[in-house]
A and B are shown apart, each in its own frame.
Chain A
Amino acid sequence: MSSTFAPRLSRRLGEVVFLAFCWVATGIALLALTAIMWSLLSQGLGGLDLDIFTKSTPAPGSDGGLLNAIMGSLMMCVTAMIGAVIVGILAGTWLSEFARESRYGKVIRFLNDVLLSAPSILVGLFVYGILVAPLKGFSGYAGAVALALIAAPVITRTTEDVLRLQPAALREASVALGAPVWRTIFAVIWKSARAGMLTGALLAFARISGETAPLLFTALNNQFLSFDMTKPTANLPVVIFNFALSAYDDWRRLAWAGALLIAATVLTVTIIARMLAREPRRS
């Protein structure tokens, strides 16, 4: 008890150990990010040449690129996003504008949150059960449906969250001018929540562009460039998975290049989404 104000030694020691641990924990997280980014750049940058974008996946030992996989992924992600954006925005609007306190609304909100973090491989199994098995064939559309089912809950959640942030006065003003409800939502609420809704869509896009598990047995894979989504469709994640676990060095190099490509896309989209979300909100 040397002083009334300075903490005792044991307390000070606990404090120092605790603070050090917090620093170390953050250090570990940052170290992991750096290590992964470094591996991606050092292993993937070498394989990232023009061939990647102009040639399709090769047989082992010959030249090739990832053109078919990139195109397939783009087609599936865009198709999925079109469906997911429509469903997600409407569902989010319903939760925020029409069913805020209703029992059914609460149930949907709760189940949507569960769907949001449900294992993506189960979504793959579901789509296999309803589309692949009955139609007797893997297809790009099945892959797109699986991806849409993963993206829609994300968009629903973010849409509801940003719409709820819009002040009630905005709705009242529109209504006072005599606008019908649909017009109020279209022209006032959605317009004012635009940036936030876009953020949600971008985050959903980032999420599905790296998804592999639900595509393994819905879109399967395709060695050739094809724009027919009723057939098995090549896609980056599954190609990376197959090539990374193969015994051929040139396939593995392509897998690293593909991984770099996907990670770069996802991270860029995430950062853009965050910057949009940072835009000043009117309150």
Chain B
Amino acid sequence: MTAAADPGAMAASRPRSARGGGLDRLFEAMCFAAATLLLTALGGIVVSLMIGGWPAFAHFGFGFFISSEWDPVQEIYGAAGAVTGTLVTATLALALSLPLALGVAIFLVELCPPVLRRPIGTAVELLAGIPSIVYGMWGLFVFAPWFAKTVQMPIMMSAQPGTVWETITTGVPNGAGILSASIILAIMILPFMAATLRELLLSIPPQVRESAYGLGSTTFEVIRKVSLPYIRTGAIGAVMLGLGRALGETMAVTFIIGNAHGFPTSIFASGSTIASTIANEFAEATGVLHTASLTALGLVLFIITFAVLALARILIGRQANL
């Protein structure tokens, strides 16, 4: 066990004596095993996805990533539709959510009356606590009808025939689709990004902000020219963390995206994401190739989210060390 020699807190505060001997070693071994179990779990996820998805990669080759055909009857599967759906919804969600998250974080740090700080902070945290499936139901039964009537219909009616705008806004005006899913996702990732951004803003030494104020800057100028540049690295990390969540979010999206396979061309059209496809079809998949293709989609999702989350952690960690 290499860990015994590490300069950890215990090792540093006390030379190893014979006194606790056996029990100490047993206890440390148990702790070590638990930590290793977590590592094994992550490794196991990768390996099991690779093994499970292998038949699909072997059968379709590179075409699996290019084709957007998804036909369980003829056993033809391509990942392009779901991958595009995942990337588009997550990016749109991020674009909608980031300005709001910044606004909320700045509000809580700079503007909020002290009495309201805790209640509003708690409220935003509760938004993060609401289970995904509740967002899904609310999105489908409450948000979608409202969205169809007040946003979707007017936009579709006013779109000029033949324009690009018309193409990207065609669809069935039932409120479900790519944009609706993105908006629900935006609400879901907002509290996570706001919380991280708030922590980062609070980490700025008061002298830095105060000297900017002392020079006569307005709040806007302090935020834009002092605070944001100061937390830049960590803020990008926070954004990536939000993106990671949006990419992997399952239930809410499954409810509201409409679950149509194929390549999405309109923001009002039904689509699918990797997670929603797996959630919808995996339990009912019968063919070997169907299960394998869904698992292969899972592997693609894992690789995308792992890259994003790893980058997020590195950036946030670097900021914290400043």
Enumerate chain A interface residues (CB-CB to B < 8 A): 5, 7, 11-12, 14-15, 18-19, 21-26, 28-30, 32-33, 35-36, 39-40, 43, 86-91, 93-102, 104-105, 107-108, 110-115, 117-123, 125-126, 128-130, 149, 152-153, 156, 168, 171-172, 175, 178-185, 206, 209-213, 216-217, 220, 237, 240-241, 244-245, 255-256, 259, 262-263, 266-267, 270-271, 274
Residue numbers in A under 8 Å from B140 (CB-CB): 244
Residue numbers in A under 8 Å from B226 (CB-CB): none
Complex CA distance for A90 and B30, rounded to whole angstroms: 7
Task: Say which residue of A22, A24, A86, A213 sits within 8 Å of B279 (CB atoms).
Answer: A213
Besides A29-B191, A102-B2, A120-B250, 7 other CB < 8 A contacts? A29-B123, A35-B138, A36-B135, A40-B138, A87-B37, A125-B278, A216-B279
Interface stretch among B18-26, B68-76, B160-168?
B18-26
Query: What distance in Å separates the Cβ of A172 from its nearest Cβ neighbour in chain B?
Result: 5
Which of A11, A23, A99 has the most CB atoms of chain B within a 10 A radius of its CB? A99
- Measured as residues with beta carbon below 8 angstroms from the partner, the interface class of chain B is 35 or more
Once A and B bind, how many residue pairs between them come within 8 Å at the CB atom? 317
- Does chain A have a CB within 8 A of B82? no
Residue numbers in B under 8 Å from A245 (CB-CB): 255
Beyond A26-B103, A168-B13, A213-B250, is A98–B275 a contact (Cβ under 8 Å)? no
Query: What distance in Å separates the Cβ of B146 from its nearest Cβ neighbour in chain A?
Result: 9
Complex CA distance for A18 and B283, rounded to whole angstroms: 49
Complex CA distance for A39 and B241, rounded to whole angstroms: 29
Could you list 9 A-B pairs, sorted by A, with CB under 8 Å? A15-B220, A94-B34, A98-B11, A122-B248, A182-B26, A211-B132, A213-B132, A241-B136, A262-B133
Nearest to B317 among chain A residues (CB) is: A110
Residue numbers in A under 8 Å from B279 (CB-CB): 121, 213, 216
Enumerate chain B interface residues (CB-CB to A < 8 A): 2-3, 6-11, 13-14, 17, 19-21, 23-24, 26-28, 30-39, 41-42, 44-45, 48-49, 51-52, 99-104, 106-108, 110-112, 120, 122-127, 129-138, 140-142, 187, 190-191, 194, 216, 218-221, 223, 241, 244-245, 247-251, 255, 275, 278-279, 282-283, 295, 298, 301-302, 305-306, 309-310, 313
Query: What distance in Å separates the Cβ of B300 from its nearest Cβ neighbour in chain A?
Result: 11
Which of A90, A211, A220 has the most CB atoms of chain B within a 10 A radius of its CB? A90
Residue numbers in B under 8 Å from A36 (CB-CB): 130, 134-135, 138
Complex CA distance for A12 and B21, rounded to whole angstroms: 69
Complex CA distance for A96 and B194, rounded to whole angstroms: 28
Nearest to B33 among chain A residues (CB) is: A90
Residue numbers in B under 8 Å from A240 (CB-CB): 133, 137
Complex CA distance for A99 and B107, rounded to whole angstroms: 39
Q: Contact at A25–B134, with CB atoms within 8 Å?
A: no
Task: Say which residue of B42, B131, B191 sits within 8 Å of A115 (CB atoms).
Answer: B42
